Amino acid sequence: MAQARYASSLKFSIVGDSLAGKASLLRRFIEDQYSTGWSSRITEGNRVVSIDNTKFNFRAWIDTRQEERYRITHPNHIYRGADGILLVYSVTTRSSFENIRKWMFEIESYASEGVPVILVGAQSDSTPKERNVSFAEGRELAKQLKIPFIETSAKDGINVDQTFFMLGRLALANWQDQAEKQREADLAASQRQRSPKSIPPQPTTMERMSTSLEDIAQGLISLITWPFKMIARGIIYSARMIASGVEYSASRLSAYREYRQEENQRQQQLLAAQTQKRREQEAAESRQRAEALLLAQATEDARRESARRASVSSASRRGERPPAGVAVTLAPGDLRHTLIPPGSSTRSSSGGPRSPDKGAHTSPRSGF
């Protein structure tokens, strides 16, 4: 099968803070898939699309300079030859939105003049509670930067293809403008060549020497000042990258501290619940022990009372005197015994001998 032929190939750059959703956006456009994690992360890819019945090969790559292994890459590498740029931030990360102006300054410094730029708010599928940047804020920033704005969701596939197609059409329009300007310049140059040449006045020797000296002086000045300009530009760029890294580290540290606070609160709540449960178990065990002791004591008292009653009943049947200190009362008509503790006097309180109760019978065996 013959290889397909395309009208042209468009190169796009995707820039923005780390973890802003650039890789997910590119993966959804190239492979129409969505996945999380670094193992499935891609940094470049291409896809053939059709615009106005003309096929184009869209090539896109991601700015990876914020990763440790790409720190030394010069920003000109990501912008060189780019026909369009997607400037991406995450609607859930406020810092990525606040750094958009820094990225725009870098684009204006290193990208080609007139290259189209689109501001993209990624992760628009987030809930209102997770969102930290509103749609109105993104639209207002794009209005100030004078660039188009759109929100996308790589997870749900919302506005992903539309974003790349919009950038492709803007890139084609920019191509046409540049081609028109080039044609006008070529036409003007050809007209100048066709017009009769007038002989300009010849400069004098002093004028030629003065012009030469001026050119030499300007060349020397440029040669001397160029290293300082490059050093100043490098210092400014390094300071911006350091500030961005500090802000990112501060945000990650703040998130870690919040996580630790929440974890400590959960641990304290779990410990309090365990302590309360242990106290309730101890209280229940104490109640059970007390109830068991009371039940044992009641059982022992009942056993003793039963034994005492059995002893008294046996003594009564044998006609023996019950143990001292025990008063026994039998049924009506039976013999009644009133037992007097050993050693107690049988006299009354008046000093005379106590007479037995009226109607009482004395047992000859008991001595009453």
For β-strands 149-151 and 117-122, DSSP reports them as: parallel
- Residue type at 365? R
Predicted TM-score of the model (pTM): 0.50
Is the separation of the CB atoms in 112 and 151 below 8 Å? no
Q: Cα-Cα-Cα-Cα dihedral of 296, 298, 302, 303, to 10°?
A: 20
Phi, psi of 214 (to 5 degrees): -65, -40
pLDDT tens, residue order, the chain (368 aa)? 334 444 578 889 999 888 888 888 888 888 888 876 554 456 788 888 888 777 888 888 886 655 434 444 556 677 888 889 999 999 999 999 999 999 999 898 888 888 999 999 999 999 989 999 999 999 999 999 999 999 999 999 899 999 999 998 998 888 888 888 888 888 887 777 766 555 566 777 777 777 778 888 888 888 888 888 888 888 988 888 898 888 888 888 888 898 899 999 999 999 999 999 999 999 999 999 999 999 999 999 999 999 888 888 887 877 766 555 444 444 444 444 444 445 544 444 444 444 444 444 444 444 43
Is the separation of the CB atoms in 44 and 60 below 8 Å? yes
**From the centroid of its chain, how far is CA 356?**
100
Phi, psi of 59 (to 5 degrees): -110, 130
Q: Can you list the positions of beta strands (E) in the chain?
A: 8-16, 44-51, 54-62, 84-90, 117-122, 149-151
Q: Could you give the CA distance from residue 111 to residue 105 in angstroms, rounded to a whole number? A: 10
Is the separation of the CB atoms in 152 and 122 below 8 Å? yes
